[in-house]
Amino acid sequence: MKKVSMLMLAVCSTIAFAQKVSDYKYVAVPEKFETFKEDYSLKDLFSKAMAGKKYIALPVIKDNWPSDAKNNYCNVVTADILKDKSLFKNKLIVQFKDCNNKMILETRGSSNIKDFEEGFHDALKQALIAVPVSNPVALLPASTNVVSDTSAITANTQKSSPEPVATAVSSESGNFSNGKVSLQKIQIDPSQFILAKSGSSVPFAAFKTTSKDSVFIVKLDNGSTTVGYFENGNIVIDIPQADGRYSKEVFVAK
């Protein structure tokens, strides 16, 4: 019972993994907003507005992206503007989604201005009021392929920090499996690591240390937050169930 109470208290901590639009530095902007028959200069207005909030707008084609965005798409949030149906107003919806196509923020704007271009511009300005200023956090190291170069990540982490990695986040093996899926443990820094599926740059789960040794706040790939811990060299995650309970999922070190 004491262990369960300790784990539930740990959930109150915050994981350093992108959950808000402001966590991002880069915003991918499509060439055309598909629900609009005309452009109405919305792309230019949106890009300028995001620059004013300290974001860097990127085209959806990755050829000229900065290396820290190109090498890890999860460092980029994707934006879209949708036309909202209305008989008497110009209304639109601005959406931001992460690399798993999960909604991070949806905000709406409307205008009484009848002219389409002016009206949609006014509506966009209203919608963007709810978008915070960029205050980015790093999801994964820039210019690092999480699948092919785990050793390089570990080496870079050790060089950048003279402090040893805590026992809670170290392991004899970088590979773990629950019998259904095989995962690779990648140490980001002394306070956080991820589990990634082989062949994928998208984290299956991201772990952040808490004030309790060996206990972590865990951000799962479906967006839910739970707790995890090391047990006999294995990684245990409490998986949230539909009925509000938690099931114990053990990933055995290989």
User: What is the chain's alpha carbon radius of gyration, rounded to the nearest angstrom?
Assistant: 21
- Could you tell me which residues come within 8 angstroms of residue 16 by beta carbon, excluding any fewer than 6 positions away? 137, 191, 192, 208
Q: What is the pLDDT of residue 111?
A: 92
Q: What is the pLDDT of residue 202?
A: 65
Q: What is the pLDDT of residue 222?
A: 79
Whether pTM exceeds 0.85: no
Q: What is the pLDDT of residue 244?
A: 80
Q: Is 24 exposed, middle or buried (0-12, 13-18, 19+ CB in 10 A)?
A: buried
For the chain, how many residues are written?
Answer: 254
The CA distance from 44 to 64, in Å, is: 18
- Is the Cβ–Cβ distance between 147 and 199 less than 8 Å? yes
The CA distance from 219 to 212, in Å, is: 17
Q: Is 9 exposed, middle or buried (0-12, 13-18, 19+ CB in 10 A)?
A: middle
Domain with CATH 3.30.160 in the chain: 21-128
Question: What averages of pLDDT result for each successive group of 10 residues across the chain (254 residues)?
Answer: 39 45 92 90 94 92 86 89 89 92 91 93 93 76 39 38 36 74 83 77 81 87 87 91 87 90
Provide the 10 A C-beta neighbour count for residue 85: 7
- Could you tell me which residues come within 8 angstroms of residue 13 by beta carbon, excluding any fewer than 6 positions away? 208, 210, 211, 217
- Is the Cβ–Cβ distance between 200 and 147 less than 8 Å? yes
Class of 21-128 per CATH? Answer: alpha beta
Q: What is the pLDDT of residue 46?
A: 96
The CA distance from 168 to 229, in Å, is: 8
